[in-house]
Amino acid sequence: MSATASAAASVEAAHGLGLGWNTADPGEVRRRIRTGEYRGYTGALARGFVQANLAILPADYAAEFARFCQRNPKPCPLLAMSEPGDPRLPELGEDLDLRTDLPSYRVFRDGEFDGDVRSIGDLWRDDFVAFALGCSFSFEEALVDAGLRIRHWEDGSVCPIFLTDVECTPAGRFHSRMVVSMRAFTPANAIRAVQVTSRYPRVHGAPIHLGMPERIGIEDVGRAWQGDDPTVVPGEIPVFWACGVTPQVAVRSARPPIAITHTPAHMLVTDVRNASLAVG
């Protein structure tokens, strides 16, 4: 076995995937998705590279949504925005094709869920504008690299998210209460988590709240709005980060005739390294 093949094999073994191709290479991940060979979750693939939330809207809604993102950078950190009608985002990957490179897409019509699909080539329109937004995978990787343990990584559950009573700043037809994800830490580790994630403002950045869920409209932190119900161990405090589900709620609120997002956990895998987003 060559050194390269051996390295790839060990990466796959570490991920427990055993897919028989180099799951560490974001370009190869996109190619395997494009050909239909891979249709699963993206979380364990291409470690070290940014995965993005996707929102595609008709051009008539694009400026308003861009403004919504600009006004709410913690839930909606805008990584890239396409030309109208152009299914590429070359700053995130030279060969990247937004019509085929995600394992699953979610279609909304007039703000209502209309199904998940495996490609959107047949839905693509000349006036579509695509938005790629930062995702918590990036800062979670930074937390783990800093030695912190994330419970939902360790027990294989889905990260709990909550709908708060914090209103985002509206823009045109887009409005939403802020959705947050929660991770529980000891106080000392919560402080460390603030430090680590502060370095990543383009992927949600520092937490927006900690310790007092009722102050942001969360009545029972043990009952997730989406994802799995979390375990908060005595001696830990809940820490809340702005979540990329917020722009999805905002997209539905605007009720565009058609909108397309990624399906949860089926993200856009990019060639941008997480570490390249760090400030300070």
Which residues are near a copy of itself by CB under 8 A? 186-188, 190-191, 194-195, 198, 206-212, 215, 235, 237, 280
CB of 208 to a copy of itself, least distance (A): 7
**In this complex, which beta carbon is closest to a copy of itself, that of residue 198 or of residue 263?**
198
Contacts of 172 (CB under 8 A, 6+ apart): 61, 63, 64, 67, 68, 254
CB 114 within 8 A of CB 107: yes
CB of 67 to a copy of itself, least distance (A): 23
CB of 2 to a copy of itself, least distance (A): 41
Tokens, residue 116: 């998940």
CB of 248 to a copy of itself, least distance (A): 24
**In this complex, which beta carbon is closest to a copy of itself, that of residue 1 or of residue 279?**
279
Q: How far is CA 67 from CA 52, 129, 131, in A?
A: 19, 14, 12
**Helical H segments across the chain, by residue range:** 3-15, 26-34, 59-71, 136-145, 151-154, 187-198, 245-254
**In this complex, which beta carbon is closest to a copy of itself, that of residue 56 or of residue 210?**
210
Neighbours of 150 (CB within 10 A): 17
**In this complex, which beta carbon is closest to a copy of itself, that of residue 1 or of residue 188?**
188
**In this complex, which beta carbon is closest to a copy of itself, that of residue 149 or of residue 215?**
215
Rounded to whole angstroms, the maximal C-alpha distance in the chain is: 58
CB of 194 to a copy of itself, least distance (A): 4
**Residue at 143: amino acid letter:** L
